[in-house]
Each structure stands twice: as C-alpha cells, then as structure tokens.
Structure 1
Amino acid sequence: MLACFTVRIVFRLDGKTAVVTGAGSGIGLAISSTFARNGAHVFALDRDLKAASDTVEGIRAAGGTASALECDVALADSVEAAFARIDSDRNASRVDILVNNAGIAHIGTVENTPEEDFDRIYSVNVKGIFLCSRAAVRRMLASGGGVILNLASIASLIGLTDRFAYSMSKGAVLTMTRSIAVDYVKRGIRCNCICPARVHTPFVDGYLRTTYPGREAEMFKQLSDYQPLGRMGTPEEVAALALYLCSDEASFITGQAYPIDGGVLAF
C-alpha cells in the first residue's frame, strides 16, 4: 500500500511584511526581490530614493508587491519617519520582518583611518542597525513577534587585513544580534545574522574601477581567489539564505551567525 505524503511548499512569506534597508542595489536588491517573489510585501528602504524605486519597479514587473521609501539609517528622524509611513500604509498591518542590510565599507588600519571615516562607519553600520531595530522591535512587540536579520560579515568572526573600522562595525553587528536574540527570545522575536565573505556587487566593480584602473580583471581574480571555492558569492545566494532564516521553517533558530563564505573559515 502506497504511503500518502503531504507536499508542503516551504520558505514562503505569504501575508508577511518585510522591511529591507539598503534595498537599492546589491544584496539588498536581491533580498527584496527574493522576498517579494515568495509572497512578502516589501518596503524597500534606501538613502537613494531613485534606487529604491527601481527595486520596487522590478518587483512589481515580476508580479510582486512593494513600496519604496527614502531612509538614511544613520539619522533617527529619517528612520522614525520611514517607519511611520509604513504604519500608515494600507499594505502593512504589521512589521513581520526587518532585514538590516544597509552598510558601507572602509579600507584602512588603526593608524591610517581618519576619525571622520570611523564615525561614518559607526553611524551607518552600527547606529543604523540600532535605530532600525529599535523601531521594528517596538512594533513587533505590539503585534506578537517577528524576525530581525542583520548583515554582518566574516570580518565579525576573523581578522581581515586593512579593515579596522569595518571589522569594528561588523563585530558590533554580531553582538547586537545576540543581544536582541537574548532579550526577546521569550517575546516572539528572533534575531540572526549572515556573515558573507566577498560578494560580487556593484560596489566591488566600482571599487576596482576607482582603485585599480586598467587592472580590474587582474584584481577581480585576486579578490575571487581569496575564497577557497575560487569565486565571490552572489547577492542571490545571500538572499536565499536570508529567505530561509526569515521563514517559518527557521522558527527554531535565533542568536546565530551564518557564514556564507566560499570556504574561507574552513581553511
């Protein structure tokens, strides 16, 4: 006699509202598109409203639903205004998911990092997560819970050459993740982070053009070869992991850091 199996469609976000910061390009764009494709209504937040609007246009063209909002995560007033607009949007009965993706990079050691650069890294990569998480947690507590996912880095787990300020900020992302997870584990809020190695985004291409004019192909190969698998990750691969961690299938996971690193940490 044949057994009967119930086929379950997994990793869906139907009926959920997801807020994604830094949604205008790269990993944020991929996460926004992936979440929308799997049923979420996405609020795409970015300091560049045109970039956020382009993300939303692509989502809608593919049959998803999304809204674009201008937001500088480093500014408390900007964050509060964005979340107030989410509150008043007819598509958002609650905030189910927050993805803290917005961030900036920096190259330098403790000796040659200007104070103003250090402060800017802190304001975006650390304070930005604080401000957005605070706004989301208040709303999640009022509606019965939710999920926060932070974009950290392998720099939060190992030392990277010439990444002093950046590593500082991503180390803070990791510890903020665990702190939120511990504080709200009994109140229905999960919090995890993803720790990528190098991911091929427009930022990488721009960095190579600016820093190594005429040597872009050579340096691209060098950056790719840093990962034992021999290539950089893709935004879509990070987005797939984000989808899982924000789905109900990951409901037993909180306070964890997930490397997606092409084997860097294994060698």
Structure 2
Amino acid sequence: MSKRLEGKRALVTGATSNIGRAIAEAFAAEGAHVIVSGRSAERGRDVVAAIRARGGRADFVRADLDGSAAASRQLAREASDVLGGGIDVLVNNAGVYPGDTTADTGEQTFDEVYAVNVKAPFFLTAAVAPAMARAGGGAVINLGSWIARLAVPVGALYSSTKGAMETLTRAWAAEFGPQGVRVNAISPGVVLTPAPGEVHPGEVMMKGTVAGRMGTPQEIAHAAVYLAADEASFVQGIVLDVDGGRTAAAVIAA
C-alpha cells in the first residue's frame, strides 16, 4: 500500500511541539523524509527519535528564525542539504503568541512577533519556493488562525500577523502557482492538549461551536497531509478552516 507522501522531502518549522510536531509525525508516517526544525535541540531530538522508532525518516536542523533573511536562508540551505538537495514541502508553522492587549504591547514585542510570525516565513519561502519551481514543483503550507477573521479582545498583534500570512498565501499562490508550486494555508481553531483532568481556558472559546470542544494537533496534521499530497493538486491559494466550525457556524443553545 503506497503512502501519500512517499518520496517527498519536507521541512516543518516549529516542529518540536504541538501542531508542528504533529505535522512532522504525520508526514513521516505517510512516507516523507522530514526535517524537524526548532530552537530546542533536546526537544528536536525527541521528535526525531519518536519518528524513527516508528520506522519514519527524520532529522533535526536547529534554527532560530528571528526574522532575518540570513537565518531563513541558512535553514533553507541546511535542510536542503540534509534532505539530499531539495525540499518538496515547506510548512511555515513557527510562531509566537504574546496574548497582550494593544495598550500593553511594547515596540520591542511588536517587532519580535512580526519578525518571527511574518518576516521569517516570508524570507524562508523566498529561499525555498523558487528552488521548488526549478525542480518541477512543490507545496507550501502556511499556518493562519481563526482569530485573524473572528476577533477576540486580546491578541490583536498576533491576529494581525496571521492575517498577513493568509494574505501572503493568496499572493504566493498567484506568484508561484503558475510555476508548479501550490501555496495554501490552514486556519486552526483552539488547538491544545490539556493535561489529564485539566480544564483549559481555551475551552471557553470553543463553546457555541459545532464541535463544542478544542481541537487536537493531530486533526490539524491530517489537513496538512492532504494539502501536501498530490491529491490536492487542484487546490490553490485557499485558507482551510480546521476550527470545529468556529468561524463558519454558531450553535444556538435551546
């Protein structure tokens, strides 16, 4: 039985925890050779070991994506070298969420969040997508967020960066799509894995949704596998909402 990503070479940023880790594990399970990238070498080694223990192919490449073009280009080079000379799938997942109100957000925080959430994936895509095109094609998957379109009272800075990534998704689809590089985004709802017995504050945000619960990292990973696979060859420039219906429908309690 063939695997959906057999022979694909993938780079997943922010892959040492939560959604990024789940995507890396799902890609490897579907046959891809995955570069697990993040700041923590210890956590990166743990993810790689878990993937290899299940028979998958993975390597860790440390990267501190601070927004500089140099850091993004270095990651693109190192990942491509480890993968044997190319990247077929790029997942721009790494991000930071300060969760402050507008009045409590300082200039340094503003610059840091835009550097990690927008500048870093911008320059990483700039380094990877043209090489994909020269090699015959590929796929770029960006991570957006439901709060880019359904606002909440805190996190204006974060939500604006995710709005920027959703806009870049459409712009890059127009720019790189004709060259064989598909660019799409996933917009997750509240996705966390609470400790057993823990009630997480994020659960409140999912009340009144069709799903009625928070999502799991694995549910986002399933969507990423679809967008990375050849079966999504006619999917271009979309933002795929995987949010339990948060932005699409409301459940009215009786």
Aligned mates of 2:178, 2:205 — CA distance in 1: 42
Please point out which of 81, 84, 93 is paired with 2:77: 84
Instruction: Give the aligned partner of residue 238 of structure 1.
Output: 220
Q: Distance in 2 between matches of 1:62 and 1:228?
A: 34
TM (normalized to structure 2)?
A: 0.91
- CA deviation map 1:37-84 (0-9, x unaligned): 000000111011221121111110110001100012223332222222
Q: Match of 1:229, SS? A: coil
- The 3 A distance-change label for structure 1 pair 14 and 218 is closer
Q: Give the Å deviation of 1:218.
A: 6.6
Q: Which moved more, 1:46-55 or 1:232-241?
A: 46-55
Residue 47 of structure 1: aligned partner: 39
1:13 and 1:40 in contact (8 A); partners too: yes
Which of 110, 115, 127 is residue 107 of structure 2 equivalent to? Answer: 115
Establish whether residue 23 from structure 1 lines up as the match of residue 15 from structure 2: yes
Indicate whether 1:14 and 2:6 are aligned: yes
Partner of 1:136: 128
Question: Does the CA-based 8 Å contact 1:194-1:260 persist in structure 2?
Answer: yes
Residue of structure 2 aligned with 1:255, choices 237, 250, 253:
237
**For the structure 1 residues 138 and 60, does the alpha-carbon distance in structure 2 shift closer, same or farther, using more than 3 Å as the test?**
same
Q: Do the aligned residues in 2 keep the contact of 1:154 with 1:197 (CA within 8 Å)?
A: yes
1:1-267 equivalences under 5 Å are 12-74=4-66, 75-89=68-82, 91-201=83-193, 217=199, 219=201, 221-225=203-207, 227-265=209-247, 266-267=249-250
User: 1:185, 1:82 → 2: CA distance?
Assistant: 23
- Is there any run of 5+ residues in structure 2 with no aligned partner, and where? none
Aligned CA RMSD, in angstroms, stands at: 2.0
Which sits farther off after the overlay, 63-72 or 74-83? Answer: 74-83
Check the 8 A contact 1:22/1:28 in 2, yes or no: yes
Cα shift at 1:109: 2.8
- The number of residues matched between the two structures is 247
Mapped to 1, the partners of 2:75 and 2:201 lie a distance apart of 39
4+ aligned runs moved over 6 Å, structure 1: none
Which residue identity lines up with residue 49 of structure 1 in the other structure?
A: A
TM-score scaled to structure 1, two decimals? 0.86
In the alignment, what sits opposite 1:210?
Answer: none
Give the Å deviation of 1:108: 2.5
Q: Percent identity?
A: 39
CA contact (8 A) 1:23 1:44 kept: yes
Range that drifts further, 251-260 or 99-108? 99-108
Q: 111-120 or 55-64: which moved more?
A: 111-120
Q: Answer with 224-233 or 177-186: which moved more.
A: 224-233
Larger relative helix fraction: 1
Structure 1 or 2, whichever has the larger Rg, is 1
Q: Measure the CA separation in 1 of the matches of 2:244 and 2:47.
A: 27
- Write out per-residue CA displacement over residues 4-55 of structure 1, whole angstroms, 9 at most, x where no aligned residue: xxxx85x610111000000000000000000000000001110112211211
Cα–Cα, structure 1 residues 220 and 144, in superposed 2: closer, same or farther, change >3 Å? closer
One-letter amino acid matched to 1:178: R
